[in-house]
Amino acid sequence: MSGGLAIAVRVSRIDTVAANIKRFRLVRHDGEPLPVFSAGAHVIVSMDDDGHRRRNPYSLMSAPHDTSGYDISVLRVAESRGGSAFLHEKLREGDALTISHPVNLFHADKRGRKHILLAGGIGITPFLAMMAEFDRANVAFELHYAMRSREHGAYWQELVERYGAHRVKRYFSAENDVLPVASLLHNQPLGTHAYVCGPDRMTDFVLRTARECGWPKSNVHSERFLAPISGKAFDAELLRSGIVVRVGDHESILEAVEAAGIDAPYMCRGGACGQCETAVVACNGVLAHHDVYLSEEEKASGRKVMICVSRFDGTKLSLDL
């Protein structure tokens, strides 16, 4: 089973919410309610871009208990290989898409007494759902939201209005306003959880700062919007299928395998869940591991690869697939 059962949806509404960010409301094609999800979850959106199948993960930002539709917000990335460009430029209201069932790799810890949410740019999306859940359950939270500028940031005005300036703090880098990570993490009471979702540099910085402030790992959570990274094209031999696939420079191994008609398991397509783990049988060259799932030792051993984001540079790669 790849990515779970698919759900046929229709785009009921598209809104531009900030420079380069659009929101899409998805409702079920058959008019039935969608599954309830837990805050932090994402779905894999499958798009048919002129016969080219594109699949990208997007976090669900609507309230988890609202089953009448799901909202996603998508940033148009500059060097898009297609997904965000398709959603922004080609998709129209009324168009059909398929989505996977929601998958959650970024849970709010239910035992937490207080939750500190650190968002950078489009990384706000999973927190929108989390805040709706915290607010409903009357759980203490604070959002610290860093954006490039007032124009580039989505939802910050509404959030201040809805949750109050005491719970929603915003920082615009264009105005030299910096998110004070260390002072935020100091002196937090026991039972506090911190969550970060934003650009890699921000996520790395928050994780490192939390560690240096003496926070235990168990209370710091992160999600990265990883995308397959481009690189040199290479061949991958799939031993079980008995074929060799060409992985293009702008393609992931998983995408190449799917294009060859082979069903490989996946869940997040972002190097985080472990579903697409594939055994490496022969490797004459270097694996470029881009995932955040395998441990450093596992990466060094070269015996496994996460085919949704990682690449290879060398003469021969044989996979147990």
Ligand X SMILES: Cc1cc2nc3c(=O)[nH]c(=O)nc-3n(C[C@H](O)[C@H](O)[C@H](O)COP(=O)(O)OP(=O)(O)OC[C@H]3O[C@@H](n4cnc5c(N)ncnc54)[C@H](O)[C@@H]3O)c2cc1C
Shortest approach of ligand X to residue 231 CB, angstroms? Answer: 6
Shortest approach of ligand FES to residue 51 CB, angstroms? Answer: 24
Distance CA 144, CA 129 (A): 15
Longest dimension (CA), the chain: 60
Question: Is the CB of 25 or the CB of 304 nearer to ligand FES?
Answer: 304
Question: Is the CB of 192 or the CB of 230 nearer to ligand X?
Answer: 230
Q: Enter the tokens of residue 81.
A: 């290989």
First to last CA, the chain: 14
Bridge-based pairing of strands 220-223 and 103-104 is: unpaired
142 binds, among other proteins, ligand X, ligand FES, none (CB under 5 to 8 A by kind): none
120 binds, among ligand FES, other proteins, ligand X, none (CB under 5 to 8 A by kind): none
Shortest approach of ligand X to residue 223 CB, angstroms? Answer: 6
Shortest approach of other proteins to residue 146 CB, angstroms? Answer: 21
Positions touching other proteins (CB under 8 A) are: 109, 111-113, 185-192, 211-219
Question: Is the CB of 78 or the CB of 190 nearer to other proteins?
Answer: 190
Shortest approach of ligand FES to residue 308 CB, angstroms? Answer: 3
**Residue 249: which residues within 8 A CB-CB, separation 6 or more?**
230, 231, 232, 233
Question: Is the CB of 26 or the CB of 253 nearer to ligand FES?
Answer: 253
216 binds, among ligand FES, other proteins, ligand X, none (CB under 5 to 8 A by kind): other proteins
Q: Within 13 A of 147's CA, how many CA atoms are on the CB side? A: 21
**Residue 31: which residues within 8 A CB-CB, separation 6 or more?**
none
Helix (H/G/I), strand (E/B), else coil: 302: coil
Cβ neighbourhood burial of 63 (10 Å; 0-12, 13-18, 19+): middle
215 binds, among other proteins, ligand FES, ligand X, none (CB under 5 to 8 A by kind): other proteins
212 binds, among other proteins, ligand FES, ligand X, none (CB under 5 to 8 A by kind): other proteins
Distance CA 181, CA 119 (A): 11
Positions touching ligand X (CB under 6 A) are: 42, 56-59, 72-75, 77-85, 122, 125, 223, 225-230, 268, 270
Positions touching ligand FES (CB under 6 A) are: 266-269, 271-276, 291, 293, 306, 308
Distance CA 41, CA 64 (A): 9
Backbone angles phi, psi at 97, to 5 degrees: -145, 165
56 binds, among ligand FES, other proteins, ligand X, none (CB under 5 to 8 A by kind): ligand X
Shortest approach of other proteins to residue 306 CB, angstroms? Answer: 25
Helix (H/G/I), strand (E/B), else coil: 62: coil
Per the DSSP assignment, residues forming a β-bridge with 284 are 316
Shortest approach of ligand X to residue 301 CB, angstroms? Answer: 25
